């Protein structure tokens, strides 16, 4: 097996890696501090498209994790970057929150419900029957279907919540049209993140707590991958997958000395 080059840049998932149910994972503060002290290029990634990078910066800051706004990359930002590259200055009907609408506005998109180029589905806690019906009709009329991420459920203190992937399935069932998912495990999310910090996959690592999104996305993008066991995936789950991370560690604390 070819020996990998030293790691110079780091991408890490947020929930389940740096924090868990709003509480920082032990070692997360030391990891971020080490990255900033060494000047290593890094990004904190999330498939959640609800929040802007500024929102997430404030959220992390409140629990003692100092992550600059420019070091946060969301599926909403990746979706806006993708659309700006594919179809600059387009129009879109959006189901989502400020994280997604702000990213699209910043990319020069006009949001409309009148003959849009795209229907874009993101995360929201207020999916409405009226909005879903509008999206279905617009897709049937020719709008192209984009979704920020394929996650079927998201966490909450009360239990699982339906997420973008589940709602996308409903729209697909009604229209017969599959969306293009931009977020993890699509390696496009990773490559757009790497481009943002001027990094190369051969010398970059991805840290995550999910085999089916974080590890798979890093693997397909050609990166070194670390699975931490502080989130959704357990050691017992590993044999369910036909691929492996480069390394499995108990938590982010075990990676600090590798920076």
Beta carbons within 10 angstroms of residue 211's beta carbon: 21
Within a 10 A sphere around the Cβ of 55, how many other Cβ atoms? 17
Active site residues: 13, 15
How much helix, strand and coil, in percent to the nearest 5, is found in the chain? 40, 20, 40
CA distance 25 to 17: 7
Report whether 39 contacts 232 (CB < 8 A).
no
* Cα–Cα distance for residue pair 187/197, rounded to 1 Å: 16
**Contact at 8 Å (CB) between 111 and 92?**
yes
Residue 250 structure tokens: 């108990």
């Amino acid at each position: 097996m070819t020996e990998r080059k030293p790691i110079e840049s780091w991408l890490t998932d947020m929930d389940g890696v740096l924090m868990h149910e709003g509480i920082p994972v032990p070692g997360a503060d030391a990891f971020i501090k080490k990255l900033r002290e060494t000047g290593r290029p890094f990004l904190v990634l999330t498939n959640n498209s609800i929040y802007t990078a500024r929102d997430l910066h404030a959220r992390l800051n409140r629990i003692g994790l100092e992550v600059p706004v420019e070091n946060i990359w969301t599926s909403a930002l990746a979706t806006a970057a993708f659309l700006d590259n594919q179809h600059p200055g387009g129009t879109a009907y959006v189901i989502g929150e400020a994280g997604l609408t702000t990213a699209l506005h910043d990319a020069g998109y006009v949001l409309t419900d009148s003959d849009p180029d795209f229907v874009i589905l993101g995360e929201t806690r207020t999916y409405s029957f009226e909005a879903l019906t509008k999206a279905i009709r617009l897709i049937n009329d020719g709008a192209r279907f984009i979704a920020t991420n394929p996650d079927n459920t998201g966490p909450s203190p009360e239990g699982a919540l339906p997420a973008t992937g589940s709602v996308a399935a409903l729209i697909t069932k009604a229209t017969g049209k599959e969306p293009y998912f931009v977020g993890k495990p699509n390696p496009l999310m990773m490559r757009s993140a790497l481009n943002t910090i001027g990094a190369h996959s051969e010398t970059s690592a991805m840290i995550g707590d999910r085999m089916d999104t974080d590890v798979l996305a890093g693997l397909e993008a050609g990166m070194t991958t670390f699975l931490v066991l502080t989130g959704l995936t357990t050691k017992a789950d590993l044999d369910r997958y036909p691929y492996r991370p480069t390394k499995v560690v108990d938590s982010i604390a075990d990676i600090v000395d590798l920076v």
